[in-house]
Amino acid sequence: MRLSITDLHAFRALGYLGTRPLDELTGSDEISEATGVARPYLVRVLATLVASGLVRSRKGVNGGYALSRPAEEINLREVMRAIDGPIAPLSCVSLNWFNDCPEAPRCHARTAVYQRLRDAMLDALSQITVAELSVDVAAGVDYGQCALHVLSPN
């Protein structure tokens, strides 16, 4: 699993929305300005988060975006799954996108490495909430700097 630029943009947008009241919609222009994410890209990220049920939206003059539930109840496991799909390192150990492998019954790496990696990633991501991202936003932390360190595939 690698963090992508899209993941970072989702973290920034969700962190900002987490600082806003749940009953108040925030326009994409405001979110874009506050997070530094270009509005066209931000709108695509938000559409994915809306489709996953993490964010709610309303179109129109008084429209905008808000978290669908309190920031403390949304964890990064849900966010990463919404943005990237499977979190498991391989489909043979994926919980939601499983593909059987003929070598699975005799593959020691599957249980010794791949399942452990999956479980560790899921556990870590489950423990971090959007509320924690909101603390960073309130403190002025710029996740845009993280984009300089995103690893490219080999």
Are 68 and 17 in the same domain? yes
Are 45 and 16 in the same domain? yes
- In the structure, what pLDDT confidence band is assigned to residue 149 with cuts at 50, 70 and 90? low
- What's residue 153's pLDDT? 56
As a whole number of angstroms, the distance between CA 58 and CA 70 comes to 18
Domain extent, residue 150, equals 1-74+129-154
User: pTM to 2 decimals?
Assistant: 0.85
- What's residue 105's pLDDT? 82
CA 128 remoteness from chain centre: 11
What does the buried/exposed string (b/e) look like for 79-101 if buried means 16 or more CB atoms within 10 Å of the residue's CB? bbbbbbebbbbbebbbeeeeeee
Are 111 and 49 in the same domain? no
Are 51 and 112 in the same domain? no
Lowest average pLDDT, out of 46-50, 62-66, 121-125, 126-130, goes to 121-125
Residues 82-137 pLDDT 10s: 998 877 677 777 777 777 788 778 888 877 888 888 888 889 999 999 999 999 99
Percent of the chain clearing pLDDT 90 (strictly above)? 53
As a whole number of angstroms, the distance between CA 46 and CA 83 comes to 10
Number of domains in the chain: 2
- What's residue 154's pLDDT? 47
